[in-house]
Structure 1
Amino acid sequence: MKKDIHIPKVEDVFVAVVQEQHPEYKTDDWNAYIINNKDVDLDTILIVSKGYSEEKVTPVMRHTIKHLPARSYSKIEFMQNDVLKLNNEFKITFFEGNQMLDKIYLFRKNTINVKALQTIPLMQLKGVLVK
């Protein structure tokens, strides 16, 4: 019975943490984004995020994005520097057409840092990407 259940693989949807300068305070802030690199729109995106380690757990954050057009991105949340020392998990569920998909994106502790920056697709900014 289980072998008959088809669970589709999520492709071309990423989470990136980007370092950006805050326009008002002139500080270098870390912000998490969802990237839709597909040729189709995504609807009703539900995001549950948390940070954790063996000793610490952050409160769970919940976000909703009603619609994310094809080949675009949207900000999820600001990430404080203290949270970067933890594992950061983003559980993302969304609709592509009439099909519901979900995936867990995990940034391992201390992997979000200046040394790990790379060019992020679509954004043309530097950040850390999880596929």
Structure 2
Amino acid sequence: MKKDIEIPEVEGVYIAVVNEFNDVYKTQDWNAYIINDKDQDLDVVLIVTNGYSDQKITSTFRKKIDKLPAKSYAKIELLQEELFALNNQFKVTFFEGNTMFEKTYVFRKNTINERALQAIPLMKVKGVLKK
């Protein structure tokens, strides 16, 4: 039975961590985003995040997005810089049509930093990207 379950490979959906100015608090903040670079809308997007190392694990954060339109993005959460010393994991599950997709994105410890910034699709900003 398990062999009959097919979960297709995820393409065109990314997680980005972006350093941006917060107009309200006048600070530079790191925010995580989910990006849908597909031509199809994503439905019932579930994101489960946490940070971990050999000695430490953070609490689990869950977010649901009812619909993420094609060629769009949505903010997931604010990341405090102290978390960059941990592996930061984003488990993403969504439906495209009647098909369920699932992928885990992991930012390894100390890989979220200013030296790792690159162009982020659709957002016209620089950040750290996981495909």
* 5+ residue gaps, structure 2: none
The match for 1:23 is 23
Q: Distance in 2 between matches of 1:47 and 1:2?
A: 24
Q: TM-score, normalised by structure 1?
A: 0.96
Distance 2:8 2:76 in 1: 24
Q: Which residue of the partner structure matches residue 115 of structure 2? A: 115
- 2:7–2:102 CA contact under 8 A, matched in 1: no
1:91-112 Cα offsets, whole Å, 9 max, x none, are 0000000111110000000000
Please tell me the residue identity of whatever aligns with 1:55. Q
Partner of 2:8: 8
Identity of aligned residues (%): 63
Aligned AA for 1:109? K
Q: Secondary structure at the match of 1:40?
A: coil
**How many residues of Structure 1 are paired with residues of Structure 2 in the alignment?**
131
* Counterpart-to-counterpart distance in 1, 2:89 and 2:5: 26
Unaligned runs of 5+ in 1: none
Instruction: Quote the RMSD (CA, aligned, Å).
Output: 1.1
Q: 1:58-73 maps to which residues of 2 (within 5 A)? A: 58-73=58-73
Residue 83 (structure 2) pairs with residue 86 (structure 1): no
